[in-house]
Amino acid sequence: MRPFFLSIASALISAACGVAAGSLAVATFQADVTPPLGTPLCDGAVEPARRIVDPLSARGIVLLNTGKPIVLAAVDWVGIANEGWEEWRKALAEAAGTTPERVTVHTVHQHDAPGYDAAAERLLEKRGLGGELYDPVFARETLARVRSALREAVKQPLKVTHVGLGKAEVRQVASNRRVLGPDGKVKYVRYSACRIPEARAEPEGVIDPEVRIISFWEGERPVAALSYYATHPQSHYGQGGVSADFVGMARSMREAALPAVAHIHFNGASGNVTAGKYNDGLPENRPVLARRLAEGMERAWNATRKAPLRAEDVAWRVVPVSLPLAERLADSERLRQALDDSKAPLRDRLRAARNLAWAERRGAGHRTDLSCLRLGAAYVVHMPGELFVEFQLAAQTMRPGNFVAMAAYGDYGPGYLGTSISYSQGGYEPGASRTSPAVEAVLMEALRDLLK
């Protein structure tokens, strides 16, 4: 369907449901994305699904009467990578009557959840390892279910007259994972569950302490709330208990408090942020962290200030970028040898497939779309990978007079995206990153372009 007819179709849907032309409208959708038992979790890095602790969901919102529709989606999976990310964008675009460039898909990054990387799966299937990274049948069925939910949602749009903006501090949840020593090198890696007393005693470090909430209203009636907070969402994980973890629990608490409002949560730039200072990994800490985050969300909701929002106040900008490949991935033949090594541990071969998939895409000239949604005085930036929190803080300084929120964990292919100096400081993330230190300059330039 050509773009002109896509716009006409969107307008007809809105008109048929009582939304006047020129008025902003939204549609919200939700679908179950919980895997069956036995499914690989966290890209095969942890125990497979043994039990369902709580269900996983894909949630999103469609903005209508803004030209071609704009789709924002958040999925309770660990990551959606490479061409898999493009598949999701294309499928949701078709369901909404728009183009993939106006769709962004993010994961919340729970580790007791599946991942999706079609390019890596294809490499593994050729070597008799198909289905070890994720369950392909489940993945296809899930995307079809989400697409169907979106298609039904746009048939029932809701008129929007105002946007609400609120933010508040979240107390005793987030802490920087990278604790530096006197020499400027990483002294401790404070993982999501940290049992090193000395590491937990260190200051929180560089974080964004605030949760931000953007809400859509029809007059005095709220219809949807998008929340943004930067932290790894793990409390305890890795034993096969499928869960949306403490972030999903906090989201459920807010749903219970505001049952008529669709709640959609996005993880911010939290590649180097965890709950490690405040979490030793005991199961009883999950509800504690959830309550603290939910309390911050409630304070942000109560601090919300509303302003009129019209369709012409909404804008969408896309900047494609070429992310520089990590030097360790430059030798494709060495990556293939690691993938072909039948004596290597399975997890090493799965990691090699993901590395090779990204390296081949970069070698083919692939560029990653970054995008920015403007809602009046608010800007929402959509970024890839496990982005360091410094990028989120930098984006805020680029628009000091505006409300700036960020969702990371878009295309999961590049893995960690750190600051230039972080690659020389040591620690876990630089060794796992699929990009070089030059990535900071690329992303900072893109952020300035998106926010100008």
Residue pair 323/439 in contact by the 8 Å Cβ criterion:
yes
For 237-324, list the strands marked E by DSSP.
241-242, 262-267, 273-274, 305-308, 314-321
Q: Which pLDDT belongs to residue 207?
A: 98
Comparison of pLDDT for 302 and 9, the residue scoring more: 302
Q: Classify residue 219 as left (phi > 0), alpha (psi -120 to 50) or beta.
A: left
Residue pair 35/41 in contact by the 8 Å Cβ criterion:
yes
Distance CA 262, CA 31 (A): 12
For 161-205, list the strands marked E by DSSP.
162-169, 175-176, 178-180, 186-189
Helix (H) or strand (E) holding 80: strand 79-81
Instruction: State the average pLDDT over residues 208-215.
Output: 98
Please state the three-class secondary structure of 407-440 as a single string. Answer: ECCCECCCCEECCCCHHHHCCHHHHHCCECCCHH
Instruction: State the average pLDDT over residues 143-163.
Output: 98
Tokens of 330: 């430059």
Is residue 168 predicted with pLDDT exceeding 60? yes
Distance CA 405, CA 199 (A): 29
Which residue range forms the structural domain that includes residue 374?
3-451
Is residue 83 predicted with pLDDT exceeding 50? yes
Instruction: State the average pLDDT over residues 199-219.
Output: 98
pLDDT category at 21 given cuts 50, 70, 90 is: low
Task: Give buried/exposed letters for 170-202 (b at 16+ CB in 10 A, else e).
Answer: beebbbbbbbbeeeeebbbbbbbbbeeeebbeb
Three-class DSSP category at 52:
strand
* DSSP sequence for 345-380: -HHHHHHHHHHHHHHHHHHTT--EEEEEEEETTEEE
Instruction: State the average pLDDT over residues 34-44.
Output: 98
Is residue 15 predicted with pLDDT exceeding 50? no
Instruction: State the average pLDDT over residues 153-161.
Output: 97
Residue pair 112/286 in contact by the 8 Å Cβ criterion:
no
Residue pair 119/174 in contact by the 8 Å Cβ criterion:
no
Is residue 5 predicted with pLDDT exceeding 90? no
Please state the three-class secondary structure of 204-238 as a single string. Answer: CCCCCCEEEEEEEEECCEEEEEEEEECCCCCCCCC
Q: Which pLDDT belongs to residue 23?
A: 86
Distance CA 358, CA 213 (A): 33
In this prediction, what percent of the chain has a pLDDT beyond 90? Answer: 95
Q: Which pLDDT belongs to residue 1?
A: 40
Distance CA 370, CA 316 (A): 11
Q: CB 151: neighbour CB atoms within 10 A?
A: 16
pLDDT category at 169 given cuts 50, 70, 90 is: very high
Instruction: State the average pLDDT over residues 188-195.
Output: 96
* DSSP sequence for 139-160: HHHHHHHHHHHHHHHTTS-EEE
Q: Which residue has the tokens 């590049």?
A: 414
Residue pair 4/97 in contact by the 8 Å Cβ criterion:
no
Q: Which pLDDT belongs to residue 192?
A: 97
Instruction: State the average pLDDT over residues 51-57.
Output: 98
Q: How confident is the model over 384-428, as pLDDT tens digits?
A: 999 999 999 999 999 999 999 999 999 999 999 999 999 999 999
Q: Which pLDDT belongs to residue 269?
A: 98
Find all residues with CB under 8 Å of 387, minimum gap 6, and list them: 269, 270, 271, 408, 409, 417, 443
Say how many domains are in the chain: 1
Is residue 4 predicted with pLDDT exceeding 50? no
pLDDT category at 19 given cuts 50, 70, 90 is: low
Q: Which pLDDT belongs to residue 14?
A: 45
Is residue 18 predicted with pLDDT exceeding 70? no
State how far Cα 315 lies from the chain centre.
21
Residue pair 412/294 in contact by the 8 Å Cβ criterion:
no
pLDDT category at 17 given cuts 50, 70, 90 is: very low
CA-derived radius of gyration, the chain: 21
Q: Which pLDDT belongs to residue 20?
A: 61
Based on DSSP, count helices (H) and strands (E) in the chain, helices before strands.
13, 24
Is residue 10 predicted with pLDDT exceeding 90? no
Model pTM score: 0.95
The length of the chain, given as a count of residues: 452
The overall average pLDDT reported for the chain is: 95
Distance CA 207, CA 89 (A): 30
Which among 383, 419, 380 is positioned nearest to 399, based on CA atoms?
A: 380
Distance CA 128, CA 110 (A): 28
pLDDT category at 163 given cuts 50, 70, 90 is: very high
